[in-house]
Amino acid sequence: MTKYNMTIKLPTTEEIERITRECLKYRFPLFEDEHKVKSEKYSLKGDVWIGYSSRGFTFSGRRGTHFDLNIVGNLCLLVSIELESKQRGKGLGWKLYESVHSISKEIGCRAVRTVPSGGFFNSRGEMIKSRRDYLLERNYVPVNETQVEFATN
């Protein structure tokens, strides 16, 4: 078994929610107590989904600032992350990423992995930097042509 597939002993979903809230309070200045944090097991192997949203969990419409994580084996997979548009350009997006890194580390994952898409645009709608380049500039490393990873342990 490779280190990428090793399973860790995860805390309970209640403990994961507590860890998530604590990491957000410490790392993300926009976090408020009424924001929603949830975790659920989603596989027979015990893989866990962790969600955060400033507006609540819905499958239609905007969820405000949010992220979705899947804990699989010893990896934290960052499925989605978004900062409300009015908060962009202030360094808060990276604070949200740092919160994810902290959550991953506290749970015991060895890394955060994501498939970065999109990027950053100027007022004319032209991309000025890809999300992949943004993450590579901040100590993420390429895993393959589409994925990047940030070591937490």
Record the pTM.
Answer: 0.89
CA dihedral 64, 80, 133, 21 (to 10 degrees): 70
E strand intervals along 1-153? 36-41, 48-53, 66-72, 75-82, 111-114, 119-121, 127-130, 141-142, 148-151
pLDDT per position in the chain (153 positions), as tens? 344 556 678 889 999 999 999 999 999 999 999 999 999 999 888 899 999 999 876 655 556 899 999 999 899 999 999 888 888 888 899 999 999 999 999 999 999 999 998 888 888 889 999 999 999 999 999 999 899 999 987
* Cβ partners under 8 Å of residue 55, min gap 6: 36, 62, 63, 64, 66
How many CB atoms sit inside 10 A of residue 145's CB? 6
- Sign of the alpha-carbon dihedral angle for 113, 72, 100, 102: negative
